[in-house]
């Protein structure tokens, strides 16, 4: 999932300066799971803003709503009857959600309440770590399901480098060396010979921004390639 974290209240207040009618819009998908922008977090942020407003003697209204997703136009339609009541929509979605919301209601001020961090997975209660860099060239079949491009700070596709110390990374000893992990995993799988495969340099053109994708079933002309 996409992992994000909430901006500081200070920063959010800065963005909201001069706005009196504010709608906090939550997202019930990735950011709800990583406890950054789901229904609960919307309640808490809206409540903080209400209390902050009252403490500052502001006459402002903070309403809240949480949609299933903000990265799909269909779900954003639910806001249509409401948006005209607000000076600002404070989105608690990832950057994709914020942008689609801004596009869907062009001419409305849409503000981000979160900092989007990475594609990750859950390590423990309340903890997530990055697992994928969306590189568009997945080689997890060769590395025992451990991504060196993401887990190695150097992104080495042919590792390990010479800096690992007792299986710890020289860049950050907090982290285990991705290639030490890969070695052990491949050993466990009885596929250690795979580590000898030399990976060609990564084709970074595949991740030229902005990325676009069309599902083959939705080819414009329906013709077969």
Partner 1 sequence: MSERKFEPKVLALCCTYCAYTAADLAGSLRLEYSPNVRVVKLMCSGKVDPILLLRAFERGADAVFVAGCAQGECHFLEGNVRGKRAVQHAKRLIAELGLEPERLEFFHIPASDGPLFARCADQMTARARELGPNPLRSSAQQDAGSALEQPRDAHPALPQCRAGVLIRAAEGDE
Q: Is 65 in the site for partner 1 (CB under 8 A)?
A: yes
Are 50 and 116 in contact by the 8 Å Cβ rule? The answer is no
Q: Write down the least CB distance from residue 82 to partner 1, Å.
A: 6
Q: Is 51 in the site for partner 1 (CB under 8 A)?
A: yes
Q: Is 8 in the site for partner 1 (CB under 8 A)?
A: yes
Which of 23, 89, 114, 186 touches partner 1 by CB under 8 A? 23
Site for partner 1 in 154-173 (CB under 8 A): none
- Ordered strands of the 114-124 beta sheet: 2-6, 114-124, 127-132
Which of 17, 55, 107, 208 touches partner 1 by CB under 8 A? 55
Q: Write down the least CB distance from residue 171 to partner 1, Å.
A: 31
Q: 52 exposed, middle or buried (CB, 10 Å; 0-12, 13-18, 19+)?
A: middle
Choices 56-64, 69-77, 107-115, 165-173; region in contact with partner 1 by CB under 8 A: 56-64
3-class DSSP assignment, residue 109 = strand
Place of tokens 């909430």: 6
Q: 73 exposed, middle or buried (CB, 10 Å; 0-12, 13-18, 19+)?
A: exposed
Q: Is 60 in the site for partner 1 (CB under 8 A)?
A: yes
Site for partner 1 in 69-128 (CB under 8 A): 78, 82
DSSP letters along 94-106, please? -HHHHHHHHHHTT
Cβ distance to partner 1 smaller for residue 20 or 170? 20
Place of tokens 């997890």: 140
Which of 28, 37, 38, 53 touches partner 1 by CB under 8 A? 53
| CA distance from start to end of the chain | 32
Choices 53-61, 94-102, 157-165, 199-207; region in contact with partner 1 by CB under 8 A: 53-61
Are 120 and 131 in contact by the 8 Å Cβ rule? The answer is yes
Measured distance CA(148)–CA(156) in Å, rounded: 6
Q: Is 32 in the site for partner 1 (CB under 8 A)?
A: no
Which of 16, 27, 46, 101 touches partner 1 by CB under 8 A? 46
Choices 37-45, 141-149, 185-193, 198-206; region in contact with partner 1 by CB under 8 A: 37-45
Measured distance CA(184)–CA(60) in Å, rounded: 58
Which residues contribute to the site for partner 1 (CB under 8 A)?
8-9, 22-23, 40, 43-44, 46-48, 50-55, 60-65, 78, 82
């Amino acid at each position: 999932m996409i992992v994000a974290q909430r901006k500081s209240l200070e920063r959010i207040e800065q963005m909201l300066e001069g706005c009196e009618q504010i709608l906090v819009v939550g997202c019930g998908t990735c950011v709800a799971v990583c406890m950054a922008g789901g229904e609960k977090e919307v309640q808490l942020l809206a409540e903080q803003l209400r209390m902050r407003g009252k403490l500052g003697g502001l006459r402002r209204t903070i309403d809240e709503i949480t949609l299933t997703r903000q990265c799909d136009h269909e779900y954003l339609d639910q806001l249509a009857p409401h948006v005209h009541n607000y000076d600002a929509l404070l989105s608690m979605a990832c950057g994709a959600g914020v942008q689609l919301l801004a596009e869907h209601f062009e001419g409305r001020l849409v503000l981000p309440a979160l900092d989007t961090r990475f594609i990750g997975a859950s390590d423990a209660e309340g903890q997530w770590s990055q697992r994928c860099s969306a590189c568009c060239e997945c080689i997890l079949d060769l590395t025992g399901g451990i991504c060196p491009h993401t887990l190695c700070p150097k992104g080495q596709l042919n590792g390990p480098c010479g800096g690992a110390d007792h299986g710890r990374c020289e860049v950050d000893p907090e982290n285990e060396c991705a290639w030490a992990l890969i070695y052990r995993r491949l050993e466990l799988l009885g596929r250690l010979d795979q580590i000898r495969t030399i990976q060609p340099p990564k084709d970074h053109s595949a991740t030229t921004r902005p990325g676009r994708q069309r599902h083959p079933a939705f080819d414009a002309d329906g013709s077969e390639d």
